[in-house]
């Protein structure tokens, strides 16, 4: 691959300080549990306009970013730790005024085109990692003490423009990040109205029972392109409808009368297909985990505008043989019941226990069982809405962050609501087996989600 050329870098602060930004932003216990994991990495790929002026575009990006940071001011700060030797504890929080701000990088690699980036070849991960600042797998959320909490990289390709985002997962979850991204886009386009929601930023302080990071911080090995294969699969609107109908028919045959949503149907389907492709012992356990936005599960529900990470996890488990002997409707029903169990009482208990007992730090992703599947992200986030003056994105991809065998990232498909794009990371032999799975491929519309959209532009 041709070497990427960095043209410039700078740091962006909020356009002006507000009184709230002078206070510390405390991380809740569930946010602190992510300290050992990677940043969120995501890149938006745009077709390059014929009259594209990178310097003019970059100037407008930085100006609108400074405006967005007025409302999302923690993203411009840095993590800070206050130690208490008497209690043998520490308090990690965001100092919203510390540090130079959000890093913005301008780069180019004109020898690469849009089809190269959106292909499913084995060298794609190395390309995508170069298009995202802080995209290397060694950077973890704890590094927000010395690294920007948000970094933006604008890269010009031969026929495309890529907006690469790296954001500290301790500070935002998918819902908060999506809120910020949508607001930034509206400000860029000059369409932010006074009626648009602003983030609600508040958390109680949570102490950790450690004095030094050496007591809790460990790092996983960086993502290796030779260790895993990554593929992007597209499920069209009609394919998802057919899959949902198929799964619900099987669920009804199993005696389950509660309808299963499209996302649960797809997650159960993916779990079962990946497990079959792994060819593991039927007596072993397998699980499927779905990170879930907890805000609407409280009663009354929390506002979707609450900044930070308000998430939990739904997990379904079964023996491999049991999962494969039963139909996909059975697998989807397990996930359905796991999600139903996350009611107001369950999520309140989770947050109260985390606050009382302190954060339970998640181990680096690569230490998960090789039998597990994690379906992260959401097709509810409108990734094709924010345009930044470049029109509708032709694709969206992740970087190195939190990639491991069995990780599935879910995006809205390029046909809009109802379609889904899935980014799968699997061991080489498992991916090869999955690509030969007739049941799986029968529902896949095409492997390169964005080829049809490119041809229409």
pLDDT (tens digit per residue) in 427-449: 999 999 999 999 999 999 865 54
* pLDDT digits 0-9 by tens, 302-361: 999 999 888 889 999 999 999 999 999 999 999 999 999 999 999 999 988 888 888 888
Over residues 65-124, the pLDDT tens digits come to 999 999 999 999 999 999 999 999 999 999 999 999 999 999 999 988 888 888 755 445
Beta strands (DSSP E) in 379-436 are 395-398, 407-412, 420-427
The domains located in the chain, with CATH, are: 5-215 (3.30.559.10), 228-456 (3.30.559.10)
Q: Are 398 and 137 in contact (CB under 8 A)?
A: no
Task: Report residue 228's pLDDT band, with 50, 70 and 90 as the boundaries.
Answer: confident
Peptide bond preceding 26 in cis form (omega within 30 of 0): no
Contacts 24+ apart (CB under 8 A), 145-148: 145/78, 145/79, 145/80, 145/81, 146/78, 148/11, 148/78, 148/99, 148/100, 148/101, 148/102, 148/103
Q: What is the pLDDT of residue 56?
A: 96
**Distant-in-sequence, close-in-space partners of 355: CB < 8 Å, separation ≥ 6:** 28, 29, 204, 206
pLDDT at 197 exceeding the cut of 70? yes
% of the chain surpassing 90 pLDDT: 65
Confidence of residue 254 (pLDDT cuts 50, 70, 90): confident
The token duo for 358 is 């302190």
Instruction: Give the pLDDT band (50/70/90) at residue 366.
Output: very low
- pLDDT exceeds cutoff 50 at 190: yes
Per-residue model confidence as pLDDT tens digits over 134-176? 766 678 999 999 999 999 999 999 999 999 999 999 999 999 9
pTM of whole model > 0.75?
Answer: yes
As a whole number, the mean pLDDT across the chain is: 88
């Amino acid at each position: 691959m041709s070497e990427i050329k960095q043209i410039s870098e700078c740091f962006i602060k909020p356009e002006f300080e507000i009184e709230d930004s002078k206070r510390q932003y405390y991380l809740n216990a569930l946010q602190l549990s992510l300290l050992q994991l990677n940043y969120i990495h995501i890149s938006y790929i745009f077709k390059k306009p014929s009259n594209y002026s990178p310097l003019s575009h970059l100037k407008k990006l930085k100006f609108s970013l400074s405006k967005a940071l007025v409302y999302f001011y923690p993203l411009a700060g840095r993590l800070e730790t206050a130690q208490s030797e008497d209690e043998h504890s520490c308090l990690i929080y965001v100092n919203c005024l510390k540090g130079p701000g959000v890093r913005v990088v301008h780069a180019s690699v004109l020898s690469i085109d849009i089809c190269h980036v959106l292909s499913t070849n084995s060298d794609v991960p190395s390309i995508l990692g170069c298009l995202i600042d802080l995209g290397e797998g060694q950077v973890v959320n704890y590094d927000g003490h010395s690294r920007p909490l948000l970094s933006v990289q604008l890269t010009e390709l031969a026929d495309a423009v890529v907006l690469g985002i790296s954001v500290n997962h301790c500070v935002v979850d998918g819902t908060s990040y999506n809120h910020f991204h949508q607001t930034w886009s509206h400000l860029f386009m000059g369409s932010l109205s006074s009626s648009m929601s602003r983030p609600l930023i508040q958390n109680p302080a949570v102490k950790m029972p450690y004095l030094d990071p050496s007591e809790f911080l460990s790092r996983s090995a960086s993502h290796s392109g030779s260790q895993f294969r990554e593929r992007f699969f597209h499920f069209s609107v009609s394919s998802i409808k057919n899959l949902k109908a198929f799964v619900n028919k099987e669920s009804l045959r199993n005696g389950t009368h509660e309808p299963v949503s499209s996302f649960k149907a797809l997650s159960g389907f993916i779990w079962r297909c990946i497990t079959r492709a792994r060819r593991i012992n039927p007596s072993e356990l397998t699980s499927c985990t779905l990170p879930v936005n907890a805000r609407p599960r409280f009663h009354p529900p929390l506002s979707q505008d609450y900044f930070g990470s308000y998430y939990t996890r739904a997990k379904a488990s079964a023996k491999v043989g049991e999962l494969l002997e039963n139909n996909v409707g059975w697998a989807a029903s397990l996930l359905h019941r796991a999600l139903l169990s996350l009611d107001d009482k369950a999520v309140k208990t989770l947050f109260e226990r985390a606050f009382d007992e302190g954060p339970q730090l998640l181990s680096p992703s690569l230490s998960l069982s090789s039998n597990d599947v994690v379906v992260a992200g959401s097709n509810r986030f409108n990734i094709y809405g924010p345009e930044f003056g470049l029109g509708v994105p032709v694709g969206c991809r992740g970087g190195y962050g939190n990639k491991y065998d069995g990780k599935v990232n879910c995006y809205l498909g390029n046909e809009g609501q109802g379609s889904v794009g899935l980014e799968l990371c699997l061991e080489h032999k498992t991916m090869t087996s999955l690509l030969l799975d007739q049941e799986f491929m029968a529902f896949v519309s095409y492997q390169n989600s964005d080829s049809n959209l490119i041809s229409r532009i």
